[in-house]
Amino acid sequence: MKVQRKDMCSQHLERYNADGELFLQRILTGDESWAHNYDPYRKAHSMKYRHKTSPSPRKYKVVASARKILFTVFWDVVHMEFLEQGQTMNCERYASTLRAIKLRLRRFRRDRTDTDSILQHDNARPPTSRQTQDALRQVKLTALPYPAYSPDLAPSDYFWFPQLKKYLRDHHYDNDGYLDVHRWYCGQSSEFFVDGVRPLVKRLKLCDYRVGDYVEK
């Protein structure tokens, strides 16, 4: 695993050294995540000051709401979609998502050719399925090699989802959260997305220096 991570980091750094900021600008990164109808603060956030002689407070088990939605997001073209309640991402749906992304790329990146964008997604199913690979060839998108189990090298995991879930935390919302998630997403500036991708270079360098070890250790 570490050897694979180091090799891929070295490859990406070579491309960055050759193309500079253009390499980062070409990256279209995304993933999927769950949003709960109610996401409570962590235990540490609800602690109150007590004197050492005060009686122990009654503790209630606080859990996230059972109502939740699965959403998929790709940026910086601001493509977001929500699955119906109870549905999960499958190969057919993911292939459809790739086609929708291609349409948005043609709309928002008119100054670039079809082959300019590099797709960064994880290597679990469905992104690695044969159906997905066929869809990538059809829409002429190139996938950036990505080491398995590496959230420390994925901008969505180390930057985007934590920012969104911080916004949603301890917040009750109606309509299953569609409007809340979408409003927050579309309210971000272009610099917000740039700031999310730019630290990738530092993380790649650190992973390469640590011979494939995790950046956040």
Within-domain flag for 54: no
User: What does the alpha-carbon distance between residue 201 and residue 15 come to, in Å, rounded to a whole number?
Assistant: 11
Higher pLDDT, 94 or 175: 94
- pLDDT single digits (tens) 41-57: 444 444 443 444 445 54
Instruction: Check whether 112 has a pLDDT greater than 50.
Output: yes
- pLDDT single digits (tens) 120-171: 887 777 777 888 889 888 888 888 888 888 999 999 899 988 888 888 775 6
Within-domain flag for 70: yes
Would residue 86 be called left, alpha or beta, if left means φ above 0 and alpha means ψ between -120 and 50 degrees? left
Instruction: Check whether 59 has a pLDDT greater than 50.
Output: no
pLDDT at 173: 56
Higher pLDDT, 84 or 140: 140
Within-domain flag for 73: yes
CA atoms within 13 A on the CB side of 80: 19
Within-domain flag for 107: yes
Q: Residue 23 sits in which domain range? A: 2-36+63-209
Within-domain flag for 118: yes
**CATH number of the domain within which 122 lies:** 3.30.420.10
User: What does the alpha-carbon distance between residue 124 and residue 191 come to, in Å, rounded to a whole number?
Assistant: 29
Instruction: Check whether 107 has a pLDDT greater than 50.
Output: yes
Within-domain flag for 45: no
Instruction: Check whether 203 has a pLDDT greater than 90.
Output: yes
E-strand stretches of the chain: 27-36, 68-75, 79-82, 118-120, 142-143
Within-domain flag for 196: yes
User: What does the alpha-carbon distance between residue 27 and residue 179 come to, in Å, rounded to a whole number?
Assistant: 27
pLDDT at 31: 85
User: What does the alpha-carbon distance between residue 209 and residue 10 come to, in Å, rounded to a whole number?
Assistant: 10
Mean pLDDT of 10-22: 93
Total domain count, the chain: 1
Within-domain flag for 11: yes
Around Cβ 110, how many Cβ atoms within 10 Å? 7
Residue 162, burial from CB neighbour count under 10 angstroms (0-12, 13-18, 19+): exposed
Instruction: Check whether 15 has a pLDDT greater than 90.
Output: yes
